[in-house]
Structure 1
Amino acid sequence: MELLIKLSQFLLSLSLLIILHELGHFIPAKLFKTRVEKFYLFFDVKYSLFKKTFRGTEYGIGWLPLGGYVKISGMIDESMDTEAMAQPPQPWEFRSKPAWQRLIIMLGGVTVNFILAFIIYIGMAWMYGDLYINNSDIKDGVWINNPVVEKIGFKTGDKILAVDGEEVKQFHDLNAKLFLGSTVDIERNGVKQTIDLPVNFIDKMFQGEKAPVVELRIPFIIVEAQENSVNAKAVQPKDIVVNFNGKEVQYADEVLAEVNRVKGQTVPAIVKRDGKQVPINLKVSDSATMSIIYAGRLPADNIEKLGTYPIQRQTYSFAESFGVGIDKGIDELVSYGGQLKAIFNPKTGAYKGVGGFKAIFDIFPEHWSWQTFWNITALLSIMLGVMNLLPIPALDGGHVLFLLYEIVSGKKPSDKFLEKAQVVGFVILIALVLFANGNDIYRAIIGR
């Protein structure tokens, strides 16, 4: 059932983005009286799952869910219809239209992507508001639970003040900013200092364990003890360890640090159970384990109930949501631009983290959440818009590049040049798709 829910969200989001992107090309083409021969969701290689012709346009659904397309008459595209291009230009064809009209048609798809993302963020601000923890409320610093991050110089208890000189106001922004940052200002034991992140920090993170750069320090809350383990009778689900080996503990990392010091011993502990403090004894193995599953992360409601951190709730009126949503969209756009910059810099190793369809599929949750669905869809819409603007001939950005050249120089590239450029662009695009999805397969094989 969980797989079906993930798949449903993935296909719904992908379909919505493809249809709206292609509508961005379709509508201006129709407005400029340009003939659109096909409008397809997914690719119809050899055959289609559904098709119907209406007013000269064949609408259909293909069987290959790798995207979609509109086939515009008189345009050199992935169809490579050279026979039609060899005929004299007709007034309804793309190539017969003024350059400014062709430019609007080609920019229509990415324009819709960006507008969609901003509309979603505006709607989410109005419907859901904001739920966050102020970074300034992380009084005891963050949890560093990643060996890669520790080797760079971070320690549990560090307070993250700024990344690249910019103050971080909300905790949930920390990991994204750290991932792409170069310098981090911290406070450790009351002393401020700066940590320089290596240029290949992203690569190091990909090669290491699957753990965030920083995490919230939360109490050691027992989920369950492994069946038939020595500690199974001592603990109960929802127990919170407040004292371990005679030391008061507030956070899980404090318990784990002490566990490493008492390998092979049975130690006294106190847990908070149903509002009471209950003394127990816990056996620590020689390998510093207790056969206990504890909570690694907590939802906002639980954090608030425990009183660990104050949760900020911000609601917005319909008018206010416009400014908030637009700011959110700009932030995500700038962030994704930073990610692309890192990807195209071989020194960062960020290209190793590029993913394909499986990576996109994996970000959808196993339970249905409209808030999560729309948040992911908005982000994917920005990604789709930016990626399509890359100056690769097979993408919208390639067509835009040639049209801008034509408008500035007054010279139109020849059809033969555009055909060859389209082939080169298509090869590049296929190589990128194979690389991204190959990364997915590689990570699946090595278990990362």
Structure 2
Amino acid sequence: MEILIKLSQFLLSLSLLIILHELGHFIPAKLFKTRVEKFYLFFDIKFSLFKKKIGETVYGIGWLPLGGYVKIAGMVDESMDTDQLASEPKPWEFRSKPAWQRLIIMLGGVFVNFVLAFIIYIGMTYAYGDLYVSNKDMKHGVWVQSDLMKEVGLKNGDRIASVDGKEFEHFNDVSYAVLMGHTLEVDRRGERITIDLPTDFLGQLSSSAKSGPLFGLRVPFVVNGFAENSPNEANLKVMDRIISINGMPTPFADVVMDQLTINKGRTVAAVVERDGSEVATNLVINEEGKLAVSFPPVLPISNHEKLGYYKIVQEKYSLLEAIPVGLVKGKEKVLGYLDQLKKMIKPETGAYKGVGGFKAIYDIFPQYWSWEVFWNITAMLSIMLGVMNLLPIPALDGGHVVFLLYEIISGRKPSDKFLENAQMVGFFILIALLLFANGNDIYKAIFVK
């Protein structure tokens, strides 16, 4: 069931983005009286799952979910259908339209992608508001979960005061800043310490041994369930909070895990909080330093505030207030993605190792249904699609835009033959990028453990 939920979110998000992107081309083409021969979700190589002709356009769904397209008459595109170019241009063909109209048609897709992302961020701001922990109030510091972060010197209980000299109001924003940053300043029990991140930090994170969250809130260890035949099922109950082991206070999960490692293979005395009371019990720790219980941080963030761990800040916005806040969020996401691209084109950062294909996109969707998570991911994917389509590669919208800008500035239109050759070169570049991204997914699945 979890796989079905994950797959449904992936396909729904992908389909929504493709249809709206192609509508961005379709609508201005129609406004400028340009014939659109096909409008397809997914690719229909050899056959279609569904198709229906309405007016002059065939609408359909292909079987290959690698994207979608609109086929505009008189345009050199990914279909490489050049037969129509052999005849004289018709008034309703793309090539007969003024350059400024063709430019608007080509920019329509990415325009829709960016508008969609900003609308989603505005809508999410209005619907959900902001719920966050102030980074300045992180009195207990962070729980370091990445081996690489431990190697560079970050410790449990450190509060990350700034990244590259910039301070952050929301703790949620710190993790991404660290990914893109170079130098951290941490507060360690009142002492300020500087931590320099390695140049290939992102590249090292791509290995499975160092993947996963960098750090998170220091949360209590709360029992959520038991493994089969768990020796602790008689001593513990679901929602028990472990508060000490062998007389050592264990207010946080990371402290509990340290004590489990120290006492692996032993039975130890412990105290748990159960229904508001402290209960003495024994814990059986296996040879791997585990309790054979499940521990996700299941407590709602509001419960952490009740327990005295964090002060939760909740902000609600009216629709008018949500507009500027959502626009700022969208702008920050766009700039953040551009920063990622800059890292990827620098070999020394190793960021290219983290490039993924369709499996990587599929993996970011959760195994549970959450509209908040779904829309957040969809907005980010829309930005990524918009930015990637603006790259000056001939087979992408950005490549067509470059040639159209050249035509507008110089007054000279590139020949159809040149556009055909450029489209072919761009097609091979895209195939290479597609193979590289999805090859990364396959390599990690087979060889990286």
Partner of 1:184: 184
For residues 298 and 147 of structure 2, the distance between their equivalents in structure 1, rounded to whole angstroms, comes to 18
Partner of 1:199: 199
Partner of 1:68: 68
Unaligned runs of 5+ in 1: none
8 Å contact from structure 1 (residues 39, 57) kept in 2: yes
For residues 114 and 229 of structure 1, the distance between their equivalents in structure 2, rounded to whole angstroms, comes to 51
8 Å contact from structure 1 (residues 51, 59) kept in 2: yes
AA in 2 matched with 1:268 = A
1:221 pairs with 2:225: no
TM-score, normalised via structure 2 length:
0.96
8 Å contact from structure 2 (residues 204, 210) kept in 1: no
How big is the shift at 1:75? 0.8
Partner of 2:386: 385
Partner of 1:293: 294
Q: Deviations over 1:171-196 (max 9, x none)?
A: 11121111111111111121112211
Unaligned runs of 5+ in 2: none
More deviation, 257-266/9-18: 257-266
Matches within 5 A, 1:138-217: 138-207=138-207, 208-217=209-218
- List structure 1 runs of 4+ shifted beyond 6 angstroms: none
Query: Residues 264 and 3 of structure 1: is their aligned pair in 2 closer, same or farther, counting only changes over 3 Å?
Result: closer
SS at match of 2:215: coil
AA in 2 matched with 1:441 = I
Partner of 2:262: 261
Partner of 1:434: 435
Partner of 1:345: 346
How big is the shift at 1:125? 1.1
Partner of 1:334: 335
Q: Deviations over 1:416-439 (max 9, x none)?
A: 111111001001111111211122
TM-score, normalised via structure 1 length:
0.96
8 Å contact from structure 1 (residues 135, 171) kept in 2: yes
Q: Deviations over 1:140-179 (max 9, x none)?
A: 1101122211111111111101111111211111211111
Query: Residues 72 and 138 of structure 1: is their aligned pair in 2 closer, same or farther, counting only changes over 3 Å?
Result: same
How big is the shift at 1:281? 2.1
Partner of 2:130: 130
For residues 44 and 167 of structure 1, the distance between their equivalents in structure 2, rounded to whole angstroms, comes to 50
Partner of 2:323: 322
AA in 2 matched with 1:214 = F
Q: Deviations over 1:302-324 (max 9, x none)?
A: 43443421222111011001001
For residues 148 and 420 of structure 2, the distance between their equivalents in structure 1, rounded to whole angstroms, comes to 48
For residues 213 and 135 of structure 2, the distance between their equivalents in structure 1, rounded to whole angstroms, comes to 16
8 Å contact from structure 1 (residues 218, 297) kept in 2: no
8 Å contact from structure 1 (residues 139, 159) kept in 2: yes
How big is the shift at 1:346? 1.4
How big is the shift at 1:282? 2.2
Q: Deviations over 1:277-315 (max 9, x none)?
A: 011122334443333332346442443443421222111
How big is the shift at 1:128? 1.4
For residues 274 and 299 of structure 1, the distance between their equivalents in structure 2, rounded to whole angstroms, comes to 16
How big is the shift at 1:223? 2.1
AA in 2 matched with 1:158 = D
1:112 pairs with 2:106: no
8 Å contact from structure 2 (residues 163, 182) kept in 1: yes
SS at match of 2:40: strand
SS at match of 2:80: coil
Query: Residues 297 and 163 of structure 1: is their aligned pair in 2 closer, same or farther, counting only changes over 3 Å?
Result: farther
More deviation, 173-182/362-371: 362-371
| Identical columns (%) | 60
For residues 347 and 256 of structure 1, the distance between their equivalents in structure 2, rounded to whole angstroms, comes to 35
For residues 371 and 406 of structure 2, the distance between their equivalents in structure 1, rounded to whole angstroms, comes to 43
Query: Residues 311 and 277 of structure 1: is their aligned pair in 2 closer, same or farther, counting only changes over 3 Å?
Result: same
For residues 224 and 23 of structure 1, the distance between their equivalents in structure 2, rounded to whole angstroms, comes to 48
Question: Number of matched residues?
Answer: 448
Partner of 1:59: 59
Query: Residues 382 and 404 of structure 1: is their aligned pair in 2 closer, same or farther, counting only changes over 3 Å?
Result: same
Query: Residues 43 and 295 of structure 1: is their aligned pair in 2 closer, same or farther, counting only changes over 3 Å?
Result: closer
More deviation, 67-76/436-445: 436-445
Q: CA RMSD in A?
A: 1.7
8 Å contact from structure 2 (residues 224, 298) kept in 1: no
For residues 177 and 321 of structure 1, the distance between their equivalents in structure 2, rounded to whole angstroms, comes to 24
Matches within 5 A, 1:74-93: 74-93=74-93
8 Å contact from structure 2 (residues 222, 298) kept in 1: no
8 Å contact from structure 1 (residues 160, 185) kept in 2: yes
8 Å contact from structure 1 (residues 131, 312) kept in 2: yes
Query: Residues 43 and 270 of structure 1: is their aligned pair in 2 closer, same or farther, counting only changes over 3 Å?
Result: same
